[in-house]
Chains A and B, each alone.
Chain A
Amino acid sequence: MTMMKKLLTSAVASALMASGAQAAISDNTVKIGYLADMSGTYRDLAGPNGLTALEMAIKDFGGTVNGAKIEVVSADDRNSPDTSSSTVRRWVENDKVDLVAGMVASSVSIAVSKILEENDRLGIISGSAASSITNEHCTPNHIHYVYDTYPLANGTASAVVKEGGKTWYLLTADYAFGHALEADVTRVVEANGGEIVGSVRHPFPTQDFSSFILQAQASGADVVGLANAGADTTNAITTASEFGVTQAGQTLAALLLFLTDVHALGAETAQGIQLTTGWYWDMNDETREWSDRFMKETGVRPTMVHAGIYSSTMQYLNAVAATGSDDAQTVRKQMMDTPINDMFAKNGKIRVDGRMVHDMYLAEVKTPAESKNEWDLYKILRTIPADEAYRPLSESKCKLVN
């Protein structure tokens, strides 16, 4: 009898598995792991509010997908590739996580995507900047959604060079992201007839920038380019204004600024700074409507990363629903075949290298007189069309591009 039972159960189990391999949602659960800096220097641009954005998407989707539960787990990446790697390894090996979302520090994303590739799970990176994530570090298991250093350089650096800032001095955060941004900026500046006359790589994070600002002043360059992010950028901007960098005739170019950074600096200090962004909350009725809902939940206006997390989670769940599967390759292919048209992007497209290409925007921080409230901070100067903004596949070093 027991023998019979065993035989029957294993027969049923193998039948289930056979059909499951093609199109089914494993364990009848879609499990999403949200990994981001929850307490450190990159907390505000993604962090706990990014988790809220993710949960908003699940709720708006209906809470289940084709009858399967949607579960969320989350963890603090502590900006450490080591910590993140062990978290994600546990997620995919023990906790059956299907999708890893969030991800901010580029070094974290690069480390995590390798583990996802080994285990054939999917990752959607919304917070990271390094364009190398879909270039030399590309894998068939991740998608880079919101922005990267290539359009940041294309947007801001080319605009500044065209306005006459020919010679540049770069302050670069000394890790994967800073190096990628430095490389992309150098390319754009030189292509537009400018020149990098000097650069300094500062430790991440750095509190006191006075020494580096002094070196930038001594270089005599037209432009001081900040190839860093978060508190490093706000500290550098504050110190630059204290040491009279702009009064002495040098231009300050912040290559990566998030809405939360500009909000922290305030329109008074940040006015006139040009920046490139993938999205802004006050662009049209659709973005405003979503931002109002987000603000009701969190008390703050969303950054482009928050909006990207919402949008990409929605795209992912749609793809799972359409294919009836949570298999990484099946879902990724479906996502590549579906253009993205929502409050985040119009005609966005996920390429074979995992890069989601969409229009980017060159913005300028408003003056205190123009700014109607504390979050009314950008005016959009120019839309950078998707195919002009991102690295063309013809220049790609990604192994998935032939």
Chain B
Amino acid sequence: MTMIFGVPLAVLSGQLLIGIINGAFYALLSLGLAVIFGLLKIINFAHGAMYMLGALVTVVLFDLLGVNYWVALFVAPVLVGAFGMLIEYFLLRRIAGQDHIYSLLLTFGVALIIQGVLTNIYGVSGLRYSMPDLFKGGINLGFMFLPYYRAWVIVVALLVCFGTWFIIEKTKLGSYLRAGTEDSQLMQGFGINVPLLVSLTYGFGVMLAAFAGVLAAPIYSVTPVMGSNILIVVFAVVVIGGMGSIGGAIITGILMGVIEGLTKTFYPPASSAVIFLVMVLVLMIRPTGLFGKEA
């Protein structure tokens, strides 16, 4: 068997694929953060909570109303996105234009409240959610067993990422968005409802997080605290990619998934720290991040 640094090639290929799958999750989450920061200059510390809400709403909708996975894939992000817009309208709007630290503290507080309330209701042991029948089982790739569901995650996450990038960077709507945040008064002069645009953008960023949450529901333990650990990692991804860079967030997300996966193979104890190590290195060499524009 071919070996690379003492690890069989087959195992290594499996780890690379796993890394890409986890990277797709990171990409989806960091994309939402990057959209919200890039366009609204809001540091959204409630992003992990929104991811959790996406998963939790999926489970609760199923338990109470029997809503299946496919419906939840659309309904849960819309519900959570609407909730995000309420937060924007009632809270974030009041501190618009202030220093970034205000939005950070506000969203962090909101996240803690949501998490605390839901922990009291649902506990932390995790809620049951079964895999849709279509995705049960998997395929043997020779070097690893790939569950169908993971294959689905990678495809749909990348599609959504690409679609988002395309809308913001390449379409007319995207140009309004970018212009509206660049000079909102001028845009309002052109007859565009900028406050609505801001609400919708925040709602959309939150929807992306909730969508990642729905994807996570069948494979991870769904608990009110599931978003708190992933949040910090995703922030690191955004910083590495360059705050506000949409494409950067996607590429960095996948890259970090792979780096983390390889660390789990070669030196597992460092796997929770490796992303932050990369972040430190990147900030030292390129303070604007890998894909950030020079200030």
The answer to whether A234 touches B147, judged by C-beta atoms less than 8 angstroms apart, is no
Q: Is the CB of A39 within 8 A of B116?
A: yes
The answer to whether A264 touches B144, judged by C-beta atoms less than 8 angstroms apart, is no
Task: Please list the residues of chain A having a beta carbon within 8 angstroms of any beta carbon in chain B.
Answer: 39-45, 174, 200-203, 205-208, 210-212, 214-215, 217-218, 230-231, 234-235, 238-239, 242-244, 248, 260-261, 263-266, 268-269
Closest 7 CB pairs of A and B: A203-B272, A264-B125, A211-B264, A264-B126, A44-B125, A260-B125, A43-B124
Q: Are A174 and B269 in contact (CB under 8 A)?
A: yes
Give Cα A109–Cα B5 distance, bound, in whole angstroms.
39
Q: A218 contacts B221, CB within 8 Å?
A: no
* The residue from B11, B219, B230, B264 contacting A242, defined by CB atoms under 8 A apart: B219
Rounded to whole angstroms, the CA-CA distance of A39 and B112 in the bound complex is 11
**Complex: how many Å from CA A288 to CA B11?**
49
A218 contacts B269, C-beta separation under 8 Å? no
Q: How far is the CA of A217 from the CA of B137 in the complex (A)?
A: 16
Count B-side interface residues using an 8 Å CB cutoff: 41
The minimal Cβ–Cβ distance linking A376 to chain B, given in whole angstroms, is 16
Complex alpha-carbon distance, A39 and B121, angstroms: 12
- B268 and A212: CB pair below 8 A? yes
Q: Quick check: B18 and A217 within 8 Å, CB to CB?
A: no
B130 lies within 8 A of A201 (CB): no
**Cβ–Cβ contact B229 & A263, under 8 A:** no
A214 near B15: Cβ-Cβ < 8 Å: yes
Instruction: Determine whether B145 belongs to the interface, using a CB cutoff of 8 Å to chain A.
Output: yes
Complex contact B147–A243 (CB within 8 A): yes
The residue that B219 contacts in the complex, of A203, A238, A244, A264, with Cβ under 8 A, is A238
The answer to whether B125 and A261 have CB atoms under 8 Å apart is yes
A44-B124, A207-B229, A242-B149 known; A215 vs B22 contact (CB < 8 Å): no
CB-defined contacts of A263 to chain B, threshold 8 Å: 125
Contact of B38 with A by CB under 8 A: no
Of all chain B residues, which has the CB nearest A236? Answer: B221
In contact, B220 and A41 (Cβ under 8 angstroms): no
B14 close to A218 (CB less than 8 A): yes
Interface contacts beyond A203-B272, A205-B229, A211-B22: sample of 5 additional A-B pairs, CB < 8 Å, sorted by A: A230-B125, A242-B147, A244-B137, A244-B145, A264-B221
Q: Which residues of A contact B127 (CB under 8 A)?
A: 264
Which residues on B sit within 8 Å (CB–CB) of A235?
220-221
Smallest distance from the beta carbon of B221 to chain A beta carbons, Å? 5
Residue of B nearest to A37 (CB): B124
CA distance A39 to B117 in the complex (A): 10
Q: Are B268 and A200 in contact (CB under 8 A)?
A: yes
Neighbouring B residues of A202 by C-beta, 8 Å: 264, 268, 271
Chain A hits for B19, CB < 8 A: 211
In the assembled complex, B177 has its CB within 8 A of some CB on chain A: no
Most buried by A among B126, B138, B271: B126
Interfacial chain B residues near A243, Cβ < 8 Å? 138, 145, 147
Interface set, chain B 4-52, CB cutoff 8 A to A: 8, 10-11, 14-15, 18-19, 21-22
Query: Within the assembled complex, what's the spacing in Å between the Cα atoms of A172 and B11?
Result: 20
Are B221 and A40 interface neighbours, CB within 8 A?
no
Interface digits, B131-156 against A, CB 8 Å rule (1 contact, 0 not)? 10000011000001101011000000
